[in-house]
Structure 1
Amino acid sequence: MATAPHLRDQAMTLIEQGHRHLILDLQDVTFCDSSGFNALVGIFRCAKSVDGTLALAAVPDRLQRST
């Protein structure tokens, strides 16, 4: 909740600067609530709107959805 707005702002700045393809390294993420998830969705949508992509790397097991 505390860091999600900063993450979103930084990613949006990168996209606006022309970096359309982003890779987010989540290795050190220990917790992700709905604010973090919504930030990721917003970044994905923004990247997609400029024909870009968002990839998540090193997603910890505790944050992955199990099927």
Structure 2
Amino acid sequence: MGGSMFQMIEVVGVSEKGFSEAVKFAIEELIAQGKKVHFFEVIQQRGAVRENKFKEFQVTIKVAFEM
């Protein structure tokens, strides 16, 4: 009988380019830390505007990785 077990954490990725890049940055940082990421879920997207220009894109994600 086999199975799998994952730990889920919530992180926020930030990018000046867009939402997709913010997600990618967050996942790549976890992988660089040695996490074996299996899947993620986008929880929230938001952005900041300064002087009528997009300043940054923020994405809150739940990430599951192998324990």
Answer whether TM exceeds 0.5 for this pair.
no
1 or 2, which has the higher strand percentage? Answer: 2
TM class, shorter-chain normalised?
Answer: 0.3 to 0.5
TM-score by length of 2: 0.33
Q: Mark the structure with the bigger radius of gyration.
A: 2
1 or 2, which has the higher helix percentage? Answer: 1
